[in-house]
Structure 1
């Protein structure tokens, strides 16, 4: 009774609006309760008690399902028949609902049937008990519906493969003929309701999905024809569509199922008139589209072998593709794609199918038209339509695969020329824009040697109406055809002229499209565009300031592609020209006697972004820098040093300037060594002043690049970096807590990983204990990358070569082992507690191997200490993460492994604890799904 009252109190919390802590406590209590052996009897009383609240009854039913899946071992074998009878009694009691309770009981019975071979005839027993009374037939059908799904998909049920094969065969295959007969009987029973007929269809579909229905036997029953007849019923329509689609799907082994297919196909074709009669009912059209598309996909080989016989199915799918509701149209796309792929492997295509794809192309282009009045669309609808246009573009590529890209392009080109021949009043911009979009989509299929279609299209662009939507589409089309233009450079000048005009357009989308086109043109045609570089430079200096930053950035990216195609010396000179233009603006802001305005800082940030994208594209000139780059590194750093000093607190500026420095390290290579210590020093003082993580990030990059260099100033800067950043991070953790500074922690740990790898002489100095504790804080976080980085560092430390050295200790490991042992021994209890809490809690799945490696190393180094730490650590693990029994089992097994000197067995102890925690998480997920 105490458990009963506590359970009701915990459930009552969810019916109110309590605080988060109360919800978490109630949830934890309920999860612990579900694990307990007492839950069986308590939930039995609740489920059968007429006075129990509904929420308690639902919870009891869910608990039975979960315990049958996870905890059946808690029930003595002699009491299993009693458990079965309890569930059967409960199913009878709730025969009229609620459905949620019926479903949970049926799932529990299904899981029990799979695990209880002594229950020799579960299906027959339920049919005998529930199948004769009309009032209980619904409960029986629900059991027969969920049983195949539970047996086939619930991999958590603990049975061996052999047990599963034997038992599932007996429960499913052994009962299939009887189930088919039973469903046929219920379908024709006098006074049968539409609700029962719908349940029959749902049940039949479940057995079809499980692959447990003999189709030859099915088509001989009235179920088969009734599935098609039921399409005339509003109540049965959806369930009938589901069944028909599954029957078709099950005939995909065509040669084995020809007798069934010969009965199916005429019935499917006979549905075609319904597309016209249900034209005003989108939901009916949706169902019909599913049937025809399923038939088309399944029988596409037969469509090619016997085109005339199966062509009505293709025509019906074409009608569904042409339907105006764009939520329905995509149902047909997989058919067109797979049929095109199948035909693409053949030397010839039946003429009827060529006509089908020609018609499809016209249909898709009509669907591409924007509405005449765009104000009829909400912003979300407009975004959805734009996204769906790209999906339709993929279907146009399927048309190209069948018809050939040249034929498709010429046909679409014809639509544009026809539209342009009309008077301005007689045509709309949509009639031009949609074919342009189509030609852009089909551009991916264009042969670069084409000399018929693409020249006509590109020659047409200058004569297009100056409508923003048309200009936008035309510019993106140029970007898509850049590979073709690379093979036909005579077309470059005209395209650059069109793009240049687009960049100066007042419409933001048009100028963005122009930037996009220029980027791809420069990327693919960079060799041919080198002579145009002065023109591009002039364009930037005269018009660049009028462009939006996104457009301007794309122009700089495009120019960088051209520079990357130049000989190294010329490339360096060109890069210097553009970089100095950018740096002059940074220099002006850095040397202002008064603080820069927001607008000036914004401009400086944009300039840095432009420089970053250029350096990213160009990458590196190699170890031997061209003459134009000699001395540039020191010159550039002198500007950045002043700039960072003045604006270190600005987050956006910091992010951008450090990214530029990162690319500069790649560009200059060893030439950056003279300024490396200055860079590190500036990053240290900036991080101390601001706490911004970007300064740690770039400092780590410098350590990684120059850590092996023998340079006194650099070594000193690394020591300063380690000491002062550690002090700052520890200070931040004392005032803010780890969850408030995850970016700082991650970049700090990445810095530590670099130091321990390339400068262990620095890493194992005085700040090491503080660095260890700071890294421990990361183990309390939820960010996967941060946790894995921290575990990487700990794994490196506890498995360091210095801990198992040859004799005598080599000079390169002076005092490293002593430092590691001292800090691990001091922090051991908390450290091990964090490892185990994360393992059974929120660590990412791929972190388990790291924890095993670290824990094994600790057991090897500190076996006696570990055994003294573990009891209190295990008590502190969250009770809702791992059962008490599993915690004790882990403690016992680990103690035995260490005491017997079998340290390798510690791995299996940890994996057992991890499995128990994962099982508990799975259980919570099952409960969450049940709640839904």
Structure 2
């Protein structure tokens, strides 16, 4: 009774408590209770007690299901038959519901049947127990529905593969014929209710999904006609659709199932007329779309080999594709995609299929049109429609595979010219924009040498109406066709003029599309655009100042692409020209006597982003810098140093400035070595002053690149940064939790990883090594997987270091120093290390792939610190939350490790 009262109290917490601590405590107690041996009897008492709260009864049923899966070993073999009878009795008691309890008891019985070879014929016994009483038939059907789902889906049941195969054969395969006979009998029984028929369909579908029902046997039963007849019933429709789809799917071995397919197809063709009759009922159309699409996909080979016989299925799918409800239309798209792939492999295409794909293209072009009044859509609906247009665009590509891209493009262009011929007062922007979107979608299929369709599209673009949506769509066509333009550079001047005018549009989306178009044209046509670079510089210094930052950033990306195509000396001069505009702005705000305005600072932030973008595209000129770049590394760093000193406490400045420095390291390569010590020193003081993670990031990159260099000033800067940053990180962790400083820990630990790998002579002998180890352990408590992996990698590198191996430990005097530092630190921090590993492992806070590292770390601890490991382990296990692992599992683990 004490257990029952405690259980009810714990469950009650979820109905009234709102604080996390109470909920966590109750949840931990319930998890421990579920694993306890006493739970079997307690749950049985609760299920037998009519006065027990509903939540307690449901929890008891759930616990039986859970314990049958995980804890059946707690029941003595001689008591297993009694457990079976207990569950059968409980199922009889709850045959009228609640359904949630019935389902859990059915799952428990199914799991028990799988693990109990002495239970000779579980299915027959349950049929005998529940099948003769009409009131209990729904319970029998529920069990039969859950049985294949549990047998095939519950992979946690602890049995061998051979045991599983034997029991699955006995439980399912040997009973499939009996199941069909039983379901047929119930389906035809006088007075059968709609609810029971739905249950029959659910059960039938479950066995079909499991692959346990022979299509031949099924086709011989009254159920075969029944599932098609049920489509006329609103109450049975959905379940009948599910069964028909699964049944069709099961006939996918065409040659083996031809007699059954010959029975199915006439019923499908007769069903086709229902699509037109049910146009006002989207739920019915959805069901028909699923049935015909499943048939189309399953019988694709037959469609192609016996087109005239099976073509009504294609026509039915086409009708569903044309339905105005865009939630239903995509059901058909996988069929069209796979059919186009099959047709594309054939030397010729049947006119019937050509007509079908022509109709489909017209349908998609209609679906692509925005509504006449956009205000009829909510913002969420509008965004969903825009996303769905891209899905429809993929189906247009399928049309290209069958009809040829050139023909599709010309037909789509004709829609625009026909609409424009009616005059500006008689054409809507939607009629022009939808075909433009279609052309953009089909652009991926364009032959880069095409000299028929694409030239006509490019000639059409300048004459399009000056509507923002139309201009937006046209600019994105230019983006998509930029590779074609590279092969036909004569179109560049006109297209660049069209793009340039797009930047002047007051519509933000049009301006953004112009930026994207310029980026791709410069990326793909860069060899043809070198002569336009002065024009682009002039554009930036005039019109460019009016652009929003995202558009301006895209222009700089475009410029970077053009520079990357130039000869090195000319490229260096061009980069210098564009970069020095930005550097001059940084120098001005850093040195002017008065505080910069907010606009001036924002311009500096934007300049940093633009410079980063250019450097990211250009990357490097190689190890030998051209003359124009020889002195720029030191000059640039002086400007950046002054800028960081003055404004570096701002997180946005820190982030953007260090991102550019990172690109500068890549660009200058070994030439950056001259400024590396000063750079490390600035990062050290800036991190100490601000605690911003960005200042940890750059030293890690410098150590990664120059860690093997013996230059004394550089090594000194590494050591100073290591010690100062460690002291700062430790002080931060004393005032807040690791999760509050997760960004700092991520970059700090990554820096330690680089230092340990590249400069162990600095990493291990330092007096801050124990502090760094402690700070690294804090990385195990964050939620970011990358940080946890980095922390584990560093721990593994430390505990497996060669200096600890007697075979290597005396080869170098420095190894004695390393080994002493490691041993002393692990002896002091091993308890916390072990606690962090086991808490993350049992608390599911570590990523799945981290297990191998944890195994390795544990093995090295067992080798090097075996006595301490055993002394740490007991208290660590005691500290684990009750829900993390059952007490008996903890004890077993401790005993195994100790032994």
2: CA distance, partners of 1:869 / 1:129: 55
Distance apart, 1:282 and its partner CA: 0.6
Match of 2:799 in 1: 798
Change (3 A) 1:811 1:571: farther
Match of 1:570 in 2: 570
Contact 2:802 2:808 (8 Å CA) reproduced: no
Distance apart, 1:806 and its partner CA: 3.4
For each residue in 1:644-698, what CA deviation from the matched residue of structure 2 results, as whole angstroms up to 9, or x when unmatched? 0011111111111000000000100111111111111111111111100000001
Distance apart, 1:594 and its partner CA: 2.4
Match of 2:847 in 1: 844
2: CA distance, partners of 1:524 / 1:812: 54
1: CA distance, partners of 2:269 / 2:519: 50
Distance apart, 1:844 and its partner CA: 1.3
Q: Following superposition, which runs of at least 4 residues in structure 1 exceed 3 angstroms of deviation? A: 805-809
Q: Does 1:864 align with 2:867?
A: yes
Distance apart, 1:156 and its partner CA: 0.6
Instruction: Work out which of the residue numbers 877, 885, 892 in structure 2 matches 1:889.
Output: 892
1: CA distance, partners of 2:34 / 2:46: 14
Instruction: Work out which of the residue numbers 877, 881, 886 in structure 1 matches 2:880.
Output: 877
Instruction: Work out which of the residue numbers 785, 794, 819 in structure 2 matches 1:817.
Output: 819
Distance apart, 1:888 and its partner CA: 1.4
Match of 2:768 in 1: 767
Q: Does 1:461 align with 2:464?
A: no
The 5-angstrom pairing of residues 668-817 of structure 1 reads 668-764=668-764, 765-804=766-805, 805-806=807-808, 808-813=810-815, 815-817=817-819
For each residue in 1:885-905, what CA deviation from the matched residue of structure 2 results, as whole angstroms up to 9, or x when unmatched? 221121111112xxxxxxxxx
What secondary structure does 1:532 align onto?
A: helix
Match of 1:198 in 2: 198
1: CA distance, partners of 2:278 / 2:509: 41
For each residue in 1:351-393, what CA deviation from the matched residue of structure 2 results, as whole angstroms up to 9, or x when unmatched? 1000000100000010000000000110100100000000000
Match of 2:646 in 1: 646
Match of 1:910 in 2: none
Match of 1:299 in 2: 299
2: CA distance, partners of 1:480 / 1:357: 24
1: CA distance, partners of 2:808 / 2:83: 64
Distance apart, 1:598 and its partner CA: 2.4
Distance apart, 1:814 and its partner CA: 5.3
Match of 1:929 in 2: none
RMSD, aligned CA: 1.0
Match of 1:401 in 2: 401
Q: Does 1:830 align with 2:832?
A: yes
Q: Does 1:3 align with 2:8?
A: no
For each residue in 1:551-593, what CA deviation from the matched residue of structure 2 results, as whole angstroms up to 9, or x when unmatched? 1000100110111111111111111111011111111111122
For each residue in 1:144-179, what CA deviation from the matched residue of structure 2 results, as whole angstroms up to 9, or x when unmatched? 001011101111111111111111011101001111
2: CA distance, partners of 1:133 / 1:451: 77
For each residue in 1:690-727, what CA deviation from the matched residue of structure 2 results, as whole angstroms up to 9, or x when unmatched? 10000000111111111212212111111110111111
Contact 2:810 2:816 (8 Å CA) reproduced: no
2: CA distance, partners of 1:806 / 1:437: 67
Match of 1:853 in 2: 856
1: CA distance, partners of 2:96 / 2:808: 77
1: CA distance, partners of 2:808 / 2:549: 60
Distance apart, 1:812 and its partner CA: 4.6
2: CA distance, partners of 1:249 / 1:828: 58
2: CA distance, partners of 1:863 / 1:74: 33
Match of 1:48 in 2: 48
Contact 2:432 2:470 (8 Å CA) reproduced: yes
Distance apart, 1:807 and its partner CA: 6.6
1: CA distance, partners of 2:58 / 2:816: 65
The 5-angstrom pairing of residues 600-679 of structure 1 reads 600-679=600-679
2: CA distance, partners of 1:582 / 1:886: 63
Match of 1:335 in 2: 335
Distance apart, 1:136 and its partner CA: 0.4
1: CA distance, partners of 2:710 / 2:395: 60
What secondary structure does 1:270 align onto?
A: helix
The 5-angstrom pairing of residues 34-433 of structure 1 reads 34-433=34-433
Distance apart, 1:781 and its partner CA: 2.2
Change (3 A) 1:28 1:317: same
TM-score of the aligned structures, taking structure 2 as reference length: 0.99
Which one is further off, 156-165 or 881-890?
881-890
2: CA distance, partners of 1:84 / 1:648: 71
Match of 1:913 in 2: none
For each residue in 1:514-564, what CA deviation from the matched residue of structure 2 results, as whole angstroms up to 9, or x when unmatched? 110111111111111111111111111111101111110001001101111
What secondary structure does 2:708 align onto?
A: coil
TM-score of the aligned structures, taking structure 1 as reference length: 0.95
1: CA distance, partners of 2:312 / 2:832: 72
1: CA distance, partners of 2:613 / 2:265: 58
Distance apart, 1:420 and its partner CA: 0.6
Distance apart, 1:780 and its partner CA: 2.1
Which one is further off, 555-564 or 856-865?
856-865
For each residue in 1:842-871, what CA deviation from the matched residue of structure 2 results, as whole angstroms up to 9, or x when unmatched? 221111111111111121111122222222
2: CA distance, partners of 1:92 / 1:366: 57
Distance apart, 1:809 and its partner CA: 3.4
2: CA distance, partners of 1:778 / 1:598: 37
Distance apart, 1:454 and its partner CA: 0.1
Q: Which runs of 5+ in 1 are unaligned?
A: 897-932
Distance apart, 1:311 and its partner CA: 0.8
For each residue in 1:776-821, what CA deviation from the matched residue of structure 2 results, as whole angstroms up to 9, or x when unmatched? 1122222211111111111111111111253743145351111111
Contact 2:803 2:809 (8 Å CA) reproduced: no
1: CA distance, partners of 2:731 / 2:875: 29
For each residue in 1:463-482, what CA deviation from the matched residue of structure 2 results, as whole angstroms up to 9, or x when unmatched? 00000000000000000001
